[in-house]
Structure 1
Amino acid sequence: MADLTQEDWVNQLKNDDNAIILDVRTEDEVAEGKIPNALHIDIYKGQGFIYEVEELDKSKNVYVYCKAGGRSAQACAIMNQLGFENTYNLIGGFSEWTGEVE
């Protein structure tokens, strides 16, 4: 897992054609907006989160965010334990996001 600033996260993602963007916030948080093309899997689903994440391609580079950066760091740690090699946590999360929103 790597913690990246928004600038590094965006720059790295821009040049990555093997990427998944993962939003681990709650449904209510996602309703306020999300980063374009993000896949949503709520980390609060517990075992359900693990089941859904296990369906993803582990060879992909996964860019993970939540509201402030804490849950996404947890998600990255869980995913690394599940065999994902490259996970990137967005420092500051969506609350500090200044990029595009859908």
Structure 2
Amino acid sequence: MENLNEEKWVEGLQTSKNSEIIDVRTPAEFNEGYIEGARLINIQDTSTFMEEIEQLQKDKDYYVYCRSGRRSEMACQIMEKTGIENAFNLEGGIIDWSGKVKK
């Protein structure tokens, strides 16, 4: 698990050949705007969150974000415990995101 600033997070995402963006916010937050290509896995829905995380491919690179970076950091730590080696947290979350936000 690694905390990355936006520049490094985007750079890693662009250079990875096998990656996925994970948004761990609530559905209501997601509907307010999300990073294009993101898949919603709500960390606050604990049972569903664990089921979905355990089904993720272990060999992929996961670029994870939330509102401010705290929930996504926790999500990355949980992902690591399930055997996912490459989980990258977006420091500052979508609040500090300067890229496009899709609605």
For 1:57, what is the secondary structure of its paired residue? Answer: coil
CA drift at 1:34: 0.4
Q: How does 1:1-102 map to 2 (within 5 A)?
A: 1-102=1-102
CA drift at 1:50: 0.5
Identity between Structure 1 and Structure 2 (%): 45
Task: Please list every run of at least 4 consecutive aligned residues from structure 1 whose deviation after the TM superposition is greater than 4 angstroms.
Answer: none
Q: In 2, Cα distance between the equivalents of 1:90 and 1:5?
A: 6
- Normalised by the length of structure 2, the TM-score is 0.96
CA drift at 1:83: 0.5
The residue identity in structure 1 corresponding to 2:51 is Y
Q: In 2, Cα distance between the equivalents of 1:12 and 1:85?
A: 14
**Unaligned stretches of 5+ in structure 1?**
none
Deviations 1:50-69 (A, max 9, x none): 10111111110000000000
Q: In 2, Cα distance between the equivalents of 1:61 and 1:30?
A: 21
Q: In 2, Cα distance between the equivalents of 1:86 and 1:12?
A: 11
Deviations 1:58-85 (A, max 9, x none): 1100000000000000000000000001
CA drift at 1:48: 1.3
Number of equivalent positions = 102
**Unaligned stretches of 5+ in structure 2?**
none
The residue identity in structure 1 corresponding to 2:29 is E
